[in-house]
Amino acid sequence: MSQPIDSRYELKIGIERPDGGYTIQNVPLETYVARVLVGEAAPNSPPAALEALAIAIRTFAVVNRGRHNADGFDLCDTTHCQVMRIATTATERAAAATAGLVLMRAGTPVPVYYSASCGGRTEVPSQVWPGSDDPPYLPSQKDDACEGQPQWTANITTAELTKAFKAAGFRGDRLREMRVVARNQSGRVSKLRISGFNPETISGQDLRAVVGRTLGWLLVKSAAFEMERRGDVYHFEGHGYGHGVGMCVIGAFNLAGRG
């Protein structure tokens, strides 16, 4: 780590409005970090967990500054970038304790990621964002800190999945069958075949997004799942929450609690 970030560093943040547009705010970097910690950290996180996540948040912001240049600002306040809320005393303290610290490699801030829970094994970037680099500091590896939590189940009807696929731009009249046909090194679902739609395949990560955008993000929480058809319902049993790349927020919470 290093401290290359000027204390006067500011970001232009796009605050999403109900009408779909954005209100732009200039936010000092450390204020931004404190506010994102509220949106991204586990509730009641110990100080050490907040400080670790603060460094990841700050690094992400610096590396991705200008991500929304076409919209006239740097980063948005949604899950597309980082969720920003009103800072608390605890998050302001964590930002101040780590002020200016970013993760670097060869003298340059590096792309970093984090998710709510890796479910016991981290994922590599290219399995979530095809074409991304898989740097050596972001491997797929066993991670016991989150203890495989959360364990989750979901039941989604064929009609609901049909609605979700159509909303995502898949062409077809209805879902006839969906089955897992491949898994990757981390054990997550890498390909499903979806009869009745074109394209006729989808990754587990993309299925999570397709379902989440239309039916809610609390159904398919990760791509680490088993799936079984039960009549007109697809039953999912999985673990973890989010894409699984990089820092595991629940794992950091647990590690901090253990000292």
Select from 153, 161, 163 the least CA-distant residue to 227.
Answer: 153
Domain spans of the chain?
A: 1-111, 151-239
Q: What predicted TM-score, i.e. pTM, was given to this entire model?
A: 0.89
Residues of the chain with pLDDT under 50: none
pLDDT tens, position by position, 112-169: 999 999 999 999 999 999 999 999 999 999 999 999 999 999 999 999 999 999 999 9
How many residues belong to the chain?
259
Residue 64 has a pLDDT of 95
Contact 123, 105 (CB under 8 A): no
